[in-house]
Amino acid sequence: MYLQRQAVLLCSLFIVLIGLASVCVRAEVNITLEDTASQIIYSPPACGLTLSSDGTEAQTVADCDSAWRIVAAQGASGGTLTTTSGPTDGSGDVIPQLFLSVRAHALYVKTTPSSTAIVNVSVSTNNPILTVKSELNSSLEFISIVGLPEDRISTLSLTFVQSDRTTRVDIDSITVSISENNTTPFVAPSLPPSTVLPTVTPSIVIPTYTQSPSHSRQTSGAIAAEVLGALLGATIIAAGVFVLLYFRRKRRRPASASAEEKEET
């Protein structure tokens, strides 16, 4: 009977853990913005190809001389890439930048293997103001920004770094990770495109890995697995302590009963 009770207890704990793990997995929502999404602000404004609702080419601006150009690309998330090779005369030699303001806990900027430029990635939050900057090779394909405070607005800034050779940056999409109860993840950029973000002590980590994101970045499943492992370990320890205490109490009771019988005789 004793072993049966412990087995029932452990089974119940495992069922609770499975339920908690499923809650953790459901709690994260990923929203993918295509390169032409209105939430992404390009400076100078992007021009070039536009697609119709069915994904076919609707219009091409032949005289587009902006630093950011929208081009058709097979295999791109939305059928297009927004690309830059640096400042142009037509855009007043303005250094290309993009901005995105969100309430989220992670951002993943997807580029392409053809990207060769170095980019300055900056993430800024306010109340309090915190900023972290890092220069990365855009050929990483995925630039991951994690550990963002979801209860505050975070502004992502990506700036093209000029080089003595011809380089390019292709923007495929940006994935925003939020919790499922976040109903207002997107906000208008809190800073104009020409504003330089202040530099303070970094508090957000931007990984500078060289592996593909499928092997290196932490997915929602990996996060859930870590949570499940931690909960499982804590539960096993607690169950072990409970079993030990219960067993010791069971052993003490017969001893106490025998002592009482001796006293009565």
Share of the chain above pLDDT 90, in %: 38
Share of the chain above pLDDT 70, in %: 57
Specify the pLDDT at position 193: 46
Would you say residue 224 has pLDDT above 80?
no
Specify the pLDDT at position 104: 94
- Is the model more confident about 193 or about 96? 96
In whole angstroms, what is the distance from residue 150 CA to residue 155 CA? 12
Can you read off the two tokens belonging to residue 38? 């209105």
Specify the pLDDT at position 171: 97
Work out the mean pLDDT of the chain and round it to a whole number.
Answer: 74
Task: Give the range among 2-6, 70-74, 123-127 with minimum mean pLDDT.
Answer: 2-6
Specify the pLDDT at position 204: 39
In whole angstroms, what is the distance from residue 68 CA to residue 80 CA? 12
Eight-class DSSP state of 195: P
Specify the pLDDT at position 127: 73
- Average pLDDT rounded to a whole number, residues 37-54: 82
pLDDT category, 131, cuts 50, 70, 90?
confident
Would you say residue 172 has pLDDT above 60?
yes
Specify the pLDDT at position 48: 86
Task: Give the range among 30-34, 119-123, 241-245 with minimum mean pLDDT.
Answer: 241-245
Burial of 189 per CB tally in 10 Å (0-12, 13-18, 19+)? buried
DSSP H/E element including 72: strand 69-72
Would you say residue 58 has pLDDT above 80?
no
Distances (CA, A) of 1 to 4, 10, 39, 96, 251: 5, 14, 63, 73, 15
Would you say residue 213 has pLDDT above 80?
no
- Average pLDDT rounded to a whole number, residues 202-223: 42
